Every structure is written in structure tokens, then in C-alpha cells.
Structure 1
């Protein structure tokens, strides 16, 4: 199998490596398929999902695009899957960072001014707790955006998952996993992006 690359209009690069595609009606079945594909050796770089709504609008305008219309279109913007665990880690970093940075600044300022430990702790609490509350709100917004992203795809026909397959063995493996997790319209096209 050759790995020829074709340049298409507007910078789309199509590689002559087959790609399996499946459509999932629930986030849970999609995520399980993703994890199983990773467990059997597919790289995260071999897996892609539909790009953001903004990327789709930029590429196709405001036209309604159903899953069926775009699953085999090489010009569809793609993105890497972001797991629930990664979203959780991001939330932790947002909340922790929102608390830590202002608290550290307050602590350093109080210590430089020669404040007592009790005064420094009070300043940290006064500055850090409201900052942490803002961090919680930002983290919830990130989580809601993630949920809305997949809910919108389900509403338009399902969550698309593309899997680059290097050979017939990987092709069969990908198809079996996609179908095994209730993937619909599972098939392979002879190119990937």
C-alpha cells in the first residue's frame, strides 16, 4: 500500500491510507469504542472526530450538515478527541490555578510586609476563595461546552469517529470495534486526512 499524498483545494491533504468511519448515537458508546481502539494499539493520531462548529461554519457556511452528508467528505474539519478524564484534569487546573496564583501573590505581599502567619492566612483566604469560585464557574463552562459539542452532533445524526487503518488487519480490527460498540454505517474509504 502506498502512502501517496494528494493536495486538494484550500489546503486539504488527502493521504492514500484507508480510513474506517462509524457513527455513534450516544457519547457512551462512542467513548467506549475510542478507548477500545486505543487499547488494541491505535494511536491517538489515527483517530479523529468532527471539528468544531466554528470550523464547520467557516468551511461550509451556515448550511445544515447531517452526519450522513459529511462522513465521507475529505474537506470536513477534524479534531482530536478530548476524553472526560482530560476535561476533568483541565477543570482541576483551572480551579487550582485560579486559587493558587492570587493566593500566592497575597501570601508573598503579606510576607514581604512582615505580617503574621494568621494575617497571611487570612489574606490568602480572602483573595483565594473568590478566585477559586471563579475557577469553578470557568471549569463548569468548559465541561458544558464539551457536552454541548457532542449533544449537537447526536442531534444531527450521531458522533463521527474516523480511524486511519494501515493494513487489512487493522481495518478489520477497527470495523469490529466500531460495530461492537453500536457504530452505525461503519465502512472504509480508501483515503484519510
Structure 2
């Protein structure tokens, strides 16, 4: 359990650097998955950390969110712009008119893309802020042997992981 996103992310990256697969690492599932499983009951991180049936999800890095934002903004600009360009080019319009059509269609679409990308980024931040408010960000690590177990525990504790312990169950 981590009290800050920064310490959590550093532990995640260090685990990846020493060879843990992203499939061996999981975080708490989203609110929808938790509500399906537990209803509207308030559960703290401490309540959920030892439950093997708690919904889990893959970690999405800040870089991954940045790439998604780029795709949203770029796609929002590119697709309408391409359609406008193709339509004006097919009509035999001049290059200046085609550029104007692309600007008229593409720039507002890109602005909408920026707003959508900001929403994605804020949702990502809120997800982890909510976990911190409920006691901390949970990170589960699947290990295959005692050597990897010790390595994972050392990394988690080295990045201020709280209540780091081992379970004999696996998911």
C-alpha cells in the first residue's frame, strides 16, 4: 500500500526493471468493478488488501495516459480534417480552399480532442487520489519463488510501501 502516487509509480517501474512482467502486477479495480462486487459499502485499502476476490486492474502509467491523450487529440484533428481534405480535393477545389476547409473543420475538432484528453487525464488522477483518500494505493505482485518474493518485498519497502506482506494465495 502506497501513500503517494510517486512512490507507487517508482516501485512499479523498479519491479519492471528487475524483470517482473506487467501481468504479475495489479492494482485495485475501478469504482464500477468494486460496486459490482461489494455494493455501496465503503471499503478502505486495509479492508481490501487481503481479499483475493477484490477486483483488480492493470496499472496505466502517466506515459501511457500521455500517449492516449495524443491519440485522442490527433485523431480528433486528423479524421475530420482528412474528410474535409478529401471532399474538397474530389470537388477540384484549389489548395488554398482545401487548407481553409481543413482548418475550419480540424481546429474545432482538435479543441474538442484536447477537452476529451484533459478529461481522461483528470480521471486517471482522480482514480489514484481516491485510493489515497481511502488509505493508499494497493499494488499486488505475483511471485514465482522465494527469491522473487524477497526481491519484490525489498523493492516495495524501499519505496515506502506500507504493510508489505506475502499471501499464500495466487490469482
1:144-174 residue CA offsets vs partner (Å, 9 max, x unmatched):
0000000000000000000001000000000
1:191 CA drift (Å): 1.1
Consecutive unaligned residues of structure 2, counting only runs of 5 or more, are none
Which residue matches 1:3? none
Greater relative contact order (Cα < 8 A, sep 6+): 1
CA–CA separation in structure 2 for the residues paired with 1:24 and 1:68:
11
- After TM superposition, the structure 1 = structure 2 runs for residues 38-187 of structure 1, keeping only pairs within 5 Å, are 38-187=16-165
CA–CA separation in structure 2 for the residues paired with 1:94 and 1:163:
31
Q: CA RMSD in A?
A: 0.3
Task: Name the one with the larger strand percent.
Answer: 1
CA–CA separation in structure 2 for the residues paired with 1:50 and 1:144:
18
TM-score for both structures, normalised by structure 2: 1.00
Match of 1:36 among 5, 14, 37: 14
1:75 CA drift (Å): 1.2
CA–CA separation in structure 2 for the residues paired with 1:123 and 1:70:
54
TM-score for both structures, normalised by structure 1: 0.88
SS at match of 2:53: coil
Q: How many matched pairs?
A: 171
1:36 CA drift (Å): 0.1
Consecutive unaligned residues of structure 1, counting only runs of 5 or more, are 1-22
CA–CA separation in structure 2 for the residues paired with 1:38 and 1:190:
22
